[in-house]
Structure 1
């Protein structure tokens, strides 16, 4: 294992890239630095007992390419030779991958670092702007992604290099502001007494809001899953679902604005994941940007910062591919996160 700060720019092709979430795992192979990624069917993590089994069955058995390197983005802290995933039973053991799957080296980074790499490399065709503001070149950016959990990463530009900054920003505190908030916050499910951002801004967070709204309104919940909430919101058939999505985008705007201030993200705030793509019409309504900009005494700063929805269907894989092709563009620290044969 490396013993000092290390950024290694040597990546041997072909490269397996993987985005490992709590629910799904997405893989692709780059045969060389100029090739488009060869994508494989999305795998449900619950269908495989280990990531090694998923890679062997879902990828290696379906191609004649033998990857020499693997770059994996995972939802969880990267510590030691056994990496537990936050919302999945898989444990990643890079040394075992090298011995059993034939890789020469394995790099493991945080899943939202990969989203940060995407925010630095995606073309405008994959970015849907929400509200005002303009990108200031070579300035910090933030990625916020409600999904199985709430992922957050920063992206700092220095010395002509993008440095992704992983963290656990999804677990910051949330508090009530409006009269309706004060009615609902006592009804939200907490985690050890806290209402964190992730308790409201992810799939289960959406259900947390929905159940609280139903309880406050004295009605029986009609939706049992986030997909049902968004469906009822879309067709307007359930007033509680409509209010849930309105609150969801308001809370997301507040958190995104807070993080924009933390990073002074004049390069923009980028919303990632399937949930935000599904509720894009709600994000385009004024309440998201109003909540984002409502940061006295710095509201004028927030008005200048743009916000985008990332619409690429495999954004994290796109970010990993950009890193694999030109690692010198990105300051991805590999200390303690790269294993070699």
Structure 2
């Protein structure tokens, strides 16, 4: 059966919203439509065997409020009765959430749908511009985020409703553009022969890029964690780490420009994700903007499209909360993604 766009008028409160990534899980509880959400501590998914135990330990153990509805954003494709996360062993079973935890209604979204919901109403205080461009209100938007993987989603507006468009854009092929990149590319770790977005533009991708740069120069690569690469770049302690961070940002902006063209995103392209947040102060925004706009024959078009870094903490939870409060402003694919008692 084909999925459909459903107009949801309301959801039953209290509502649990959750942003479940490959590394961390984030939860908040909305007691009603007017109040501020109760935000719970961010927890590593590796600390719990499954999402059910995480909800009980992180949420239920710290509040007497029992939610009727769960709106959960999952890092992976949402399909079937057992939903696997792409970069975590967790498997989400909506029927078990209803039977064992007492939910009446469970709606599962892709994690970057939640980020798309967030940028539908992101305040200026929650974003930093990278270069020029002007937001065209009501125009399509794109959100992307290097984290454990590379998430991508679009956001389009039709008939006065925002429609998030999830996908697996982080697995698009990447290729070199310069002589320096052509020297680095053969040293990148591939996935079945492919250099996809996630092989470069995520935490492990930053490490992959660092090792490839060192190999291209015949140097030793001693760093193994994304935080080590960014810290070394910040201290100026490792030339390969510095180049990896700068090239990471340029390639990220280049892909952001590609996505801007795919969606004609005159509402802007928004970079979220923890990895870019940690390196944003280290990179050259002018180089990023040039890579974003370098899309002949459409450079003039690209010059008018804004590029932002999302700075709002827990933006995905904010997006889920915005949807939970006023679902009538959004149209979502719900077939095979919504379960009720």
Structure 1 residues 293-308: aligned runs within 5 Å: 293-308=293-308
Q: Are 1:272 and 2:272 counterparts?
A: yes
Aligned CA distance change for structure 1 residues 332 and 4 (closer, same or farther; 3 Å): closer
Q: Does the 8 A contact of 2:5 with 2:331 survive in 1?
A: no
- The equivalent of 2:177 in structure 1 is 177
SS of 2:120's equivalent in the other structure is: helix
SS of 2:16's equivalent in the other structure is: strand
Aligned CA distance change for structure 1 residues 3 and 164 (closer, same or farther; 3 Å): closer
Q: Does the 8 A contact of 1:270 with 1:307 survive in 2?
A: yes
Aligned CA distance change for structure 1 residues 126 and 222 (closer, same or farther; 3 Å): same
Counterparts of 1:253 and 1:57 in 2: how far apart (Å)?
39
Aligned CA distance change for structure 1 residues 160 and 283 (closer, same or farther; 3 Å): farther
- The equivalent of 1:333 in structure 2 is 333
- The equivalent of 2:319 in structure 1 is 319
Where has structure 1 moved over 2 Å in runs of 4 or more? 1-10, 281-285
- The equivalent of 1:219 in structure 2 is 219
Which moves more between the two structures, 308-317 or 284-293? 284-293
Unaligned regions of 5+ residues in structure 2, if any?
none
- The equivalent of 1:194 in structure 2 is 194
Cα deviation 1:150-170 (Å, max 9, x = unaligned): 000000011111100001111
Which moves more between the two structures, 254-263 or 229-238? 229-238
Q: Are 1:237 and 2:233 counterparts?
A: no
Aligned CA distance change for structure 1 residues 180 and 3 (closer, same or farther; 3 Å): closer
Aligned CA distance change for structure 1 residues 171 and 2 (closer, same or farther; 3 Å): closer
Q: Does the 8 A contact of 1:130 with 1:283 survive in 2?
A: no
Aligned CA distance change for structure 1 residues 20 and 207 (closer, same or farther; 3 Å): same
Counterparts of 1:281 and 1:89 in 2: how far apart (Å)?
33
Aligned CA distance change for structure 1 residues 236 and 324 (closer, same or farther; 3 Å): same
Alignment TM-score, normalising by the size of structure 1 = 0.97
Counterparts of 1:264 and 1:283 in 2: how far apart (Å)?
26
Aligned CA distance change for structure 1 residues 290 and 282 (closer, same or farther; 3 Å): farther
Counterparts of 2:144 and 2:2 in 1: how far apart (Å)?
30
SS of 1:279's equivalent in the other structure is: helix
Q: CA deviation at 1:93?
A: 0.7
- The equivalent of 2:247 in structure 1 is 247
- The equivalent of 2:124 in structure 1 is 124
Q: Does the 8 A contact of 1:170 with 1:198 survive in 2?
A: yes
Q: Does the 8 A contact of 1:130 with 1:284 survive in 2?
A: no
Q: CA RMSD in A?
A: 1.3
Structure 1 residues 63-82: aligned runs within 5 Å: 63-82=63-82
Aligned CA distance change for structure 1 residues 225 and 28 (closer, same or farther; 3 Å): same
Q: CA deviation at 1:4?
A: 5.4
- The equivalent of 1:113 in structure 2 is 113
Q: Are 1:161 and 2:161 counterparts?
A: yes
Q: Does the 8 A contact of 1:122 with 1:318 survive in 2?
A: no
Q: CA deviation at 1:281?
A: 2.4
Cα deviation 1:87-128 (Å, max 9, x = unaligned): 111111111111110111000000000000001122111111
Structure 1 residues 45-60: aligned runs within 5 Å: 45-60=45-60
- State the aligned residue count: 341
Cα deviation 1:56-85 (Å, max 9, x = unaligned): 111111101010100000011111111111
SS of 2:133's equivalent in the other structure is: coil
